[in-house]
Structure 1
């Protein structure tokens, strides 16, 4: 006997899947909103404190409450690299080469880590935005098939009999679209924010590199 799954169970499963998609979408939206707001605030505070410092040594010893956020971690990675390079004195291969290029590489590596953190979750939003309408359509197709099967068994094709089941089946498509729209809008919004965030980090890394090289040239 072939394994049989009632169409109504499949339709209910589709609706539950869309519900999970919706919960995941809004969870990511709320988390990314908090993450971007927090990091933007930390970056503004650290950016001002860093560039208001009288010299590089003072910038490296800012109060802990000001050393938070992506830019602070990029600066910290630069300070650590400079300290390790001076202590190593060229004994290790990772410190062989032009200091400017090696320091830039260390800063870029940390900036890429920060960017990956900011872009986390966006793939999920894009996936939900692109698949939710099709999941809803799948539920609608199964619902219509189930409705037509019930109509054929009843032997009546009047409007009262047809409209109800088919209308219920179309709800799945509507829910799929309702789930997809916020996901797509949020994905585009956060992708743009992440791009601006990346540009800001790259600009800060370039400025840090310039200041660090100027300080070395001055013999600090």
Structure 2
């Protein structure tokens, strides 16, 4: 049986911790719960979004007309970024054709109005994709330092207790100091999954944004000219090409 004076372990460390140490541990636990909740939600959302996007794109390119696409969206709703983009672009075109430039936000040609609408939707989708990523990045960046601060605080109090007891032997020092290092380990255990998930989700979002940009170019070309760009074909000799390529940066 261990001597109560030399007992070590996480439970002993927790029992000996003061309010600051327990608060830091509670913060790390909260960070871990929040991080794993975001990982689960974002991961599941991405799987569903990818499946729905693939289904819509297959239907879109197999459709015989824009009316068929519009009817599909009206029936089942815009449940993915591509159908959301298509619905807004088609509505913008029909609205401008029916009412013209009735407001300042609708000024310009129909193509200008559709281009601005597509840019707005792309920005909205980018913002939606990035929701929660700031929290993951913050947890990944700060959790190790919270754990390190807990370790420093624990070592400080352990050394104070050892100094007051007058027992400076290795067995009296190693136990409390080793217990304090647990906080650093907890901080790393919280930060590593958050960093890995952040990188994975960011890459997935970057791929989806690239697909959305390419689809936006095809969609605007289709709405403006009534046909899609054939693979490998050059862009039409109009302002359409430059307008689409600048969708995310144009004002």
Compute the TM-score of the two structures, normalised by the length of structure 1: 0.91
Of residues 126-135 and 207-216 in structure 1, the stretch that sits farther from structure 2 once superposed is 207-216
1:60 and 2:70 matched: yes
TM-superposed CA distance for 1:7, in Å, is: 6.1
In structure 1, the partner of 2:40 is: 30
> Is the CA contact 1:143–1:166 (under 8 Å) kept in the aligned structure 2?
yes
> Is the CA contact 1:56–1:211 (under 8 Å) kept in the aligned structure 2?
no
Distance across 1 between alignment mates of 2:150 and 2:78: 51
Give the ranges of 4+ consecutive aligned residues of structure 1 lying more than 3 Å apart after TM superposition.
none
1:73 and 2:84 matched: yes
Q: 1:13 aligns with which of 23, 30, 41?
A: 23
> Is the CA contact 2:96–2:113 (under 8 Å) kept in the aligned structure 1?
no
Distance across 1 between alignment mates of 2:62 and 2:39: 34
TM-superposed CA distance for 1:151, in Å, is: 0.3
Q: 2:59 aligns with which of 49, 61, 64?
A: 49
Of residues 109-118 and 66-75 in structure 1, the stretch that sits farther from structure 2 once superposed is 66-75
Larger relative contact order (Cα-Cα within 8 Å, sequence gap ≥ 6): 1
Distance across 2 between alignment mates of 1:54 and 1:100: 22
In structure 2, the partner of 1:138 is: 149
TM-superposed CA distance for 1:59, in Å, is: 1.5
Distance across 2 between alignment mates of 1:105 and 1:190: 28
> Is the CA contact 1:8–1:146 (under 8 Å) kept in the aligned structure 2?
no
Distance across 2 between alignment mates of 1:186 and 1:136: 20
TM-superposed CA distance for 1:92, in Å, is: 2.9
Distance across 2 between alignment mates of 1:90 and 1:65: 30
Q: List per-residue Cα deviations over 1:35-72 (Å, max 9, x = no partner).
A: 11111111111111111111112211116337421111
Gaps of 5+ in 2: 1-15, 228-251
In structure 1, the partner of 2:170 is: 159
State how 1:69-218 maps to structure 2 within 5 Å.
Answer: 69-215=80-226
Residue-pair matches, total: 211
Gaps of 5+ in 1: 1-5
Distance across 2 between alignment mates of 1:104 and 1:144: 61
Q: When you count helix as a share of all residues, which structure comes out higher?
A: 1
